[in-house]
Amino acid sequence: DQPTDRSRRVLLKLSGEVFGGGKVGLDPDVVGDVARQIAAAAADGVQVAVVVGGGNFFRGAELSRRGIDRSRADYMGMLGTVMNALALQDFLEQADVRTRVQTAITMGQVAEPYIPLRAIRHMEKGRVVVFGAGAGMPFFSTDTVAAQRALETHCDEVLVGKNGVDGVYTADPRTDPTATKLDHVTYTDALRGGLRVVDAAAFSLCMENELTMRVFGMGPDGNVTRALRGERIGTLVTA
Ligand code: UDP
């Protein structure tokens, strides 16, 4: 039901790990680099929306194991994603890309509320839209939000950028030395095989709505631009 003549529109999911460069907090050098890579693709006319994770600040499940009420811990996690969104916005603006942050929890001084039609309009005008605060609901993950936002804003594909792994493997490559990388996998096989590189809920949502996903590694340099432009890196996941 999508017009075929409009430019490619994609949703990029970046986990908090990317923003922290593997540590707690923000690594401005890494965020700046990712922003410049997004800017390069946006300059080619690719319409880009980004969903940011927050694992570099807080993960609700971990905090709740340490005694904080799960829902409150999840809200803390969501607030962490907003800091990542603002950092990405800043570096995108520095790279001359007009950027709007929309959050699922209203915070009028720092971001627009999530308004899907407005997000689409921003992208049509060449602005990058960064979605923060997840779904605004505890017990969800930002992977699932990435699938949902991609569907609601009519993106052609979900691109999941990973640290430390460059696609979907037959098993967890960090623990199983026999694991091999797949160029293509179906959602059904990924779910059956328990391949948890992306949340099962996100896989299910994409599968049911026939939205394709590409899982790729953040390195080597330039991979984010390549994925945004539609190059066949990493693993393609289809229904
Ligand atoms: N979170 C949530 N609802 C959402 C999205 C995120 O409760 O819709 C919380 C949850 O606690 C999660 C944290 O925010 O652990 C950070 O998000 P996520 O773990 O998905 O980030 P990532 O793993 O991508 O860094």
Sorted by where each begins, the domain ranges of the chain are 9-238
Residue 82 pLDDT: 98
CA distance 45 to 193: 37
Q: How far is the CA of 61 from the centre of ligand 1 (A)?
A: 9
For residue 237, how far is the Cα from the chain centroid? 15
Question: What single string gives the DSSP state of each residue in 31-89?
Answer: HHHHHHHHHHHHHTT-EEEEEE--TTT--HHHHHHTTS-HHHHHHHHHHHHHHHHHHHH
> pLDDT under 50 in the chain at which residues?
1
Q: How far is the CA of 4 from the centre of ligand 1 (A)?
A: 33
Q: How far is the CA of 199 from the centre of ligand 1 (A)?
A: 11
SS3 content of the chain, % helix, strand, coil (to 5): 40, 20, 40
Query: Which of 26, 88, 142, 160 to mutate for ligand 1's pocket (most ligand atoms within 8 Å of CB)?
Result: 142
Q: What angle do the packed helices 70-94 and 28-43 form, to 10 degrees? A: 60
For residue 157, how far is the Cα from the chain centroid? 11
Residue 5 pLDDT: 73
Nearest CA to ligand 1 atom 13: 77
Residue 183 pLDDT: 98
CA distance 237 to 211: 9
- Report yes or no: 159 and 214 within 8 Å, Cβ to Cβ: yes
Of 148, 161, 153, nearest in space to 128 by CA: 153
Nearest CA to ligand 1 atom 3: 140
CATH 3.40.50.620 is held by the domain 9-238: no
Query: Which of 11, 31, 59 to mutate for ligand 1's pocket (most ligand atoms within 8 Å of CB)?
Result: 59
Residue 164 pLDDT: 87
Tokens of 144: 């699932």
Residue 98 pLDDT: 98
Using the atom order of ligand 1, give the atom closest to the CA of residue 57.
16
- Give φ, ψ of 159 to 5 degrees: -115, 120
Residue 21 pLDDT: 87
The label of the residue with tokens 């199983």 reads 176
Residue 2 pLDDT: 52
The complex's ipTM?
0.98
Q: Give the binding-site residues of ligand 1, using a 6 Å CB cut-off.
A: 15-17, 53-55, 59-61, 74, 77-78, 81, 134-135, 137-138, 140-142, 145
Known binding-site positions: 13-16, 54-55, 59, 74, 135-142, 163, 169, 172
- DSSP three-state, residue 216: strand
